[in-house]
Amino acid sequence: MHGALLTGVPVVVCSGESTGYGDAAGPDPGSQWYRNLSVVGGPQALAAPFTKWACAAGDVSVLYDMVKRAGELAVQTPAGPTYVNTPVEVLLDRWQPSPAVGPAPPPPQTVAADADVEAAARLLAAARQPVLAVESAGRDPEGFAALTELAELLAIAVVEPQSAVCANFPRTHLLHQGGDLGGLAADADLVILLGCRAPWYPPSAKPGAATVLVIDEAAHRPHMAYQVLTADRYVSGATAPTLRAITARLRDLGPGLDAEIIRARRQRLEDAHATADASRLEAEQRALASPEGPVDAVAVTSTLRDLLGPGAVVVDETITHSRGVARHLMAGAPGRYRYVQGGLGQGLGVALGVKLAMSESGADRMTVLTVGDGAWLYNPVLAGLMASAQYGLPLLVVVYNNGSYLSMKYNHVRAYPEGAAARTGHFLGFDLSAQPDAAAVATAGGAAGFTVSTTPQLAPALDKAMAAVRGGQTAVVNVLLTR
């Protein structure tokens, strides 16, 4: 639920309790409810901090409309999870539908005010060196397309910072400037924050002296205890229509736009993208050149990208390799990439949910989970593999296995560079050399399991794993990494 709250995913969660404990008239809910499953204040009290709304249905007569309302609340801006406690006695009771039963209407979209659209367009038209940071606009394919149109019109540098939760802009586009906002923002005269919760860290460390324009459906996230955007102007509205309105106004201003500045800016950004792309390709060639020993993580992502093609969906739950996955995956379309939010151990469930959603919609694309070995140990692996087999939801799981919680070590050194761990080499919570064999566990759970220990084994193993997935079986590829 916390992950859904952070990423703005509308979902209704229902679970139950017992309030009668067998003394009430009607069906007996069972003794386990009396002995073990009492929650003072109801389970809605546990769900409340992680949801937009949490409540209990005390009677069957209100259950239908409470669930319907929970769904309507979930999709309202800002979207997120809601929770309905449905006691066992209520579930066991008879329900008589009322004439009011019917589907919920679609949620309304917020539309930016004309004055705000005008102000944003004029700020963009006047900027000589704008940069746009985006975290979540690509959840909506229309938002992805609208951002691309706006960036191309004015040759705006687009950055997907580490806080990005999905693919928002084609990584192959010549205006894409990678994932480091700091350097570009320091030299910018206008920074546009599009759907950004946390564009820089520390939160108050905005670089440079640029004007900050925030475009967001709900710029202030009520679930964040501390949020600093240093905004000079807010434009509130649904992403796609707001960006299209701003683009239309800029086209109206066409004669007033400085074509030479835009042309020079476009050339500079295209040159920077080409340089970064050459560096990326060089890193991939270097990583793939090693014939023996453990595998470079860059080789894993680039090989996976080339074998998958553009149609697959990748859910990422790596930590130390997350930036590399985003960089070398080169996501070019909406829905191609999503990063798991809200704590480790969700990746397998999220990937199964993505696969289920696509299967139900008829767009049955291959679904891939890239996950670190530490995060994989947090996941309910056997339960997830069983669910995959039982419900016909085959996944390709690629474990980036460096035999450690490497982020633990980094934080030890970052916080205490001259501390006991740095002096002795003994880092608590770091060593995962005793972890179970991920491929063997996968096989025990009914999946296909593969282990890769050298670079030449990588492409053949991934190819076999993908064939298993196409045949309806989840496959886990455990890749032993250099770091």
Supply the pLDDT for residue 205.
86
- Identify the residue whose tokens are 């220990």: 453
d(CA 28, CA 307): 55
Read off the pTM: 0.93
Q: Mean pLDDT, the chain, as a whole number? A: 93
- The answer to whether residue 168 scores a pLDDT higher than 80 is yes
Query: Quick check: 450 and 475 in contact, CB under 8 A?
Result: yes
CA distance readout (Å), 58 to 18, 19, 26, 53, 64: 11, 9, 15, 16, 12
The fraction of the chain above a pLDDT of 90, given in percent, is 76
Question: Alpha carbon 34 to chain centroid distance?
Answer: 39
- The answer to whether residue 292 scores a pLDDT higher than 90 is no
Supply the pLDDT for residue 50.
94
pLDDT in tens, 58-86: 899 999 999 999 999 999 988 999 999 99
Q: Which residues contact 238 (CB under 8 A, 6 or more apart)?
A: 77, 109, 110, 111, 217
- The answer to whether residue 225 scores a pLDDT higher than 80 is yes
Q: Residue 118: exposed, middle, or buried by beta-carbon count in 10 A (0-12, 13-18, 19+)? A: middle
The pair of three-digit structure tokens given for residue 460, joined into one six-digit string? 């053949």
Confidence category of residue 368, pLDDT binned at 50, 70, 90: very high
Supply the pLDDT for residue 305.
97
Supply the pLDDT for residue 109.
84
- What per-residue string of b and e applies to 36-49 under the rule 16 or more CB within 10 Å gives b? eeeeeebbbebbee
Stretch 136-145: mean pLDDT: 95
pLDDT in tens, 253-281: 988 899 999 999 999 999 999 999 999 99
Confidence category of residue 116, pLDDT binned at 50, 70, 90: very high
pLDDT in tens, 84-98: 999 888 888 888 887
- The answer to whether residue 100 scores a pLDDT higher than 80 is no
Supply the pLDDT for residue 40.
86
Supply the pLDDT for residue 381.
97
CA distance readout (Å), 100 to 64, 274, 423: 10, 60, 70
Domains of the chain plus CATH, in order, are: 2-92 (3.40.50.970), 114-274 (3.40.50.1220), 290-480 (3.40.50.970)
Q: Which residue has the higher pLDDT, 483 or 248?
A: 248
- The answer to whether residue 20 scores a pLDDT higher than 90 is no
- Identify the residue whose tokens are 């939760």: 165
Phi, psi (deg, nearest 5) at residue 218: -145, 90
Query: Quick check: 132 and 151 in contact, CB under 8 A?
Result: yes
Helix (H, G, I), strand (E, B) or coil at 85: strand
